[in-house]
Amino acid sequence: MRRVDQPWQAAATGVYGRRAGGQVQAVTIFALTFTPNAGENAGRMATVLVVDDDPAARKPLARLLQMEGHEVVCAENAVMAMAAALGRRPDLILLDVAIPPMDGLTFLFLLREKPAGKEVPVIVISGMEDARTQQRARELGVTHYLVKSQYKTRELLDLVRGFCLRSEHLPNSEDVPTTA
Cα 37 to chain centroid distance, Å, stands at 14
Are 76 and 60 in contact, with CB atoms under 8 Å apart?
no
pLDDT of residue 21: 62
pLDDT of 176 above 90: no
pLDDT of residue 45: 82
Mapping DSSP onto H, E and C, the string for the chain reads CECCCCCEEEEEEEECCCEECCEECCCCEEEEEEEECCHHHCCCCCEEEEECCCHHHHHHHHHHHHHCCCEEEEECCHHHHHHHHHHHCCCEEEECCCCCCCCHHHHHHHHHCCHHHCCCCEEEEECCCCHHHHHHHHHCCCCEEEECCCCCHHHHHHHHHHHHHCCCCCCCCCCCCEEC
pLDDT of residue 17: 45
Q: Could you tell me which residues come within 8 angstroms of residue 5 by beta carbon, excluding any fewer than 6 positions away? A: none
pLDDT of 171 above 80: no
104-112 vs 78-88: helix crossing angle, rounded to 10: 30
Instruction: Give pLDDT tens digits for 47-93.
Output: 999 999 999 999 999 999 999 999 999 999 999 999 999 999 999 99
Residue 145 CA to residue 111 CA, distance in Å, equals: 18
pTM of the model: 0.70
Question: Residues of CATH 3.40.50.2300 domain(s) within the chain?
Answer: 39-179
pLDDT of residue 56: 96
End-to-end CA distance of the chain: 41
At the top level of CATH, the class of 39-179 is alpha beta
Separation in Å, CA 7 to CA 27, 67, 94: 33, 6, 21
Q: What is the mean pLDDT of the segment spanning 149-157?
A: 94
